[in-house]
Chains A and B, each alone.
Chain A
Amino acid sequence: MLEVTGLHVAYGGIQAVRSITFHVKEGELVALIGANGAGKTSTLKAIARVIDAVGGDVHFCGEKISRLPPHDIIRKGIALVPEGRGVFPRLTVAENLAMGAFVRDDKAEIAADIEKMYAYFPRLKERETQLAGTLSGGEQQMLAIGRALMSRPKLLLLDEPSMGLAPIMVQKIFEVVRAVAAEGMTTLLIEQNAKLALEVSQRAYVMESGEVTLHGESAQLLNDPKVRAAYLGE
């Protein structure tokens, strides 16, 4: 479904991503793991076209999307949950969710989808009229995921959903990630928390200094001595 070939991202002279190639098949949950500064977020941003890639191609459902303007990406069916959550702090929870459906105009269905998000995240329902900026980190992450789902994407891009959250919140967020994926949502997950990411995903790519150094079935990677040493702290 998503094919990334030779993607190359640089900031000025600094190479963030050097020619990375990977793919995500329909219905899969794929994780991209690696340490801080490995180029994971840059990869994701380049796919979502929030930043420009220097080279390489991204194809989505057979169509080349690596030259599209950023606001068209979501219309193709790719929804990004930005790093650091990126909710609209001065809009209410309900308004944030409605903003997620900016590209849709089927009012009745949008309202139904908002209720669906509240079912995923009952906490958001309780906070419906509260400003997003006043939510806790975990709640903001829930909201960011909910907002992305509001566009009814075919592919969900998650950028470090566990970042800066209490362990119990991380558990909750990942339960939802798992539930959404179980309903057939194709997901590309970026995580520093390698253990969690490998547990929840089917396949994974390990990134190091802008390159993929390892890839395979998540269950195997979880038992790979190199991965265990480098990322699981053993």
Chain B
Amino acid sequence: MSKLLNPRSAFGIALIAAALIALPFVAAMGGQAWVRILNFAILYVFLALGLNIVVGFAGLLDLGYIAFYAVGAYTYALLASPHFGLHWPFWTILPIGAVIACFFGVVLGSPTLKLRGDYLAIVTLGFGEIVRIFMNNLNAPVNITNGPQGITLIDPVAIGGFKFSGTTQILGYSLSGPQKYYFLLVALAILVIIINLRLQNSRIGRAWQAIREDEIAAKAVGINTRNLKLLAFAMGASFGGVAGGVFSAMQGFVSPESFSLIESIMILAMVVLGGMGHIPGVILGAVLLSILPEVLRYGVGPLQMAVFGKMLIDPESLRMLIFGLALVLVMRFKPAGLWPSPERKRELQGDA
């Protein structure tokens, strides 16, 4: 942490802080939609960092991560909407969502302790689907999740009397709803980043690293691999749960559709593409992969019109095509990720 104290880093941090504060206002010039895209990017940073604990730190391939996001989102939705007539405050539900997601993390973790690699991936994939299917079908005989219709009219975040939805005037500036959420998300994301950094350099972080490298050797040096793997699942899951809660409040609506397998894969792609186990890399991966498709969505159509004078290919399918191509290229030319940790980079460069 002492590195943070020298003047150059302090200047860097000030610069980043200024950019983070200015960003939502710059984005708003392109319309509030861009602020929302920004918000989702931060939400994905949140999720990717959570998954990074499981996949990057502990080396456990989890393809069902979105389930914890779903659990957090539904926890918030059920406790703060007219569906059950409950309207609990944001700050009580968020920890509850984290705890419930954490519980599900352990539920998923305990039967998979002996599995590794592909086998673990298959079980977690199944788990993710099970949760989504439950959300889809838990509307009968007792209506808990309202099935495929989802839950609507979810309360926005409100702290004290301060509501995060709608526009408010602060010091003569008007702040839109998405802009307020932006600042909330940035604050939460910073918290998550700090927790991640502390974890990485802790005894727990080193034990995870050992498990990832060689499980038998980890046992031999006295690491309780069972508990530490469960802890990784639980911690990753709680981050997912918190992100889900914020998502629910921000959208005002949740349905099982938002928690499909492709979302899990997307978050995993963010972690892998950015640089597995390397916090700045994971953040970069999350930001790029969440914003790039949106840029393509808005850019591809007009570009075709400008170049060819007509739409040759449907922008929506071209967007996924370019996106896929970008992923392939990155994996081909930067197999360790866009911004890998120095060790991993060295390893994949073939010094070994």
List residues of A whose CB falls within 8 A of some B CB. Answer: 48-50, 69-75, 79-82, 86-91, 95, 99-100, 102-103, 131, 133-134, 144, 147-148, 151
Contact = CB atoms under 8 A, between A and B. Distances in A.
Given A87-B214, A89-B213, A102-B207, A148 B222 contact: no
Interface residues of B, number: 23
B352 A71 contact: no
A102 B225 CA distance: 13
Contacts of B221: 74, 99-100, 102-103, 147, 151
Interface string B328-352: 0000000000000001101100011
B73 interface: no
Given A79-B220, A134-B352, A71 B214 contact: no
A99 to B, nearest CB: 6
Interface in B201-225: 203, 206-207, 209-210, 213-214, 216-217, 219-225
Contacts of A69: 224, 226
A86 B219 CA distance: 11
Interface of B: 203, 206-207, 209-210, 213-214, 216-217, 219-226, 343-344, 346-347, 351-352
Chain B at the A interface: mostly helix, strand, loop or mixed? helix
Contacts of B216: 50, 82, 86
Contact of A71 (B213, B222, B344, B347): B222
B343 A71 contact: no
Given A71-B225, A131-B346, A133-B352, A88 B210 contact: yes
Given A99-B206, A131-B346, A71 B219 contact: yes
A103 B206 CA distance: 13
B272 to A, nearest CB: 16
Nearest to B341: A90
B214 A88 contact: yes
Contacts of A147: 221
Given A71-B225, A79-B220, 7 more contacts: A69-B226, A86-B214, A86-B217, A88-B217, A91-B343, A102-B207, A134-B351
Contacts of A70: 219-220, 225
B347 A131 contact: yes
Nearest to A79: B220
A69 B220 CA distance: 11
Nearest to A72: B222
A156 to B, nearest CB: 11
Contact of B210 (A49, A74, A75, A99): A99
Nearest to A75: B222
Given A71-B225, A131-B347, A88 B220 contact: no
Nearest to A92: B343
25 contacts: A49-B219, A50-B216, A73-B222, A75-B222, A80-B220, A82-B214, A86-B214, A86-B216, A86-B220, A88-B209, A88-B210, A88-B213, A89-B347, A91-B209, A99-B206, A102-B206, A102-B221, A102-B223, A103-B221, A131-B346, A133-B347, A133-B352, A134-B352, A151-B221, A151-B222
Contacts of A75: 222
B343 A90 contact: yes
A50 B206 contact: no
A73 B206 CA distance: 20
